[in-house]
Amino acid sequence: MSQTPACPQCTLENTYLDGDVYICPDCTYEWPAQAVAQDGDDAAKIIKDANGNPLADGDAVILIKDLKVKGSSTVLKKGTKVKSIRLVAGDHEVDCKMDAGSFMLKAEFLKKA
């Protein structure tokens, strides 16, 4: 079985890699090999909580440990429920609003409610 992906145009699997592009000899469609790598990365970017449950936009989560807020004396307490989270790319996966303000949190400190 070949490691090359099926053609996105005609869906046939008779494709080959030529330099940095994939080519389908059946329909003569060409597409960059980087596009395939990026599509595969999207599947790997499923954000999971501390227990391994997948998170989605709008979920409610609970903090599993006390978190100190940088540059402030505020502490987000363990057990605090956060409603309606938003997933983002970057070093912090979750944006949320609480009574204390807006925060960017890492999913490893959250569990799905």
The verdict on 39 and 78 lying in the same domain is no
In a domain, 52, yes or no: no
| Range of the structural domain that residue 33 is part of | 1-45
Q: Are 98 and 80 in contact (CB under 8 A)?
A: yes
For the segment 64-103, what is each residue's pLDDT rounded down to a tens digit? 999 999 888 989 999 999 999 999 888 889 999 998 899 9
Q: How many domains is the chain partitioned into structurally?
A: 2
Q: pLDDT per residue over 48-67, tens digit each?
A: 999 989 999 999 999 999 99
- The answer to whether residues 28 and 67 belong to one domain is no
Could you tell me what percent of the chain has a pLDDT over 70?
89
Instruction: Give the CATH number, domain containing residue 89.
Output: 2.30.30.40
Distances in Å between the alpha carbon of 36 and those of 8, 43, 44, 47, 103?
10, 11, 13, 21, 34
The confidence score (pLDDT) of residue 43 equals 47
CA-to-CA distance for 93 and 47, rounded, in angstroms? 7
CATH of the domain at 15: 2.20.25.10
CA 8 to centroid of chain Cα atoms: 23
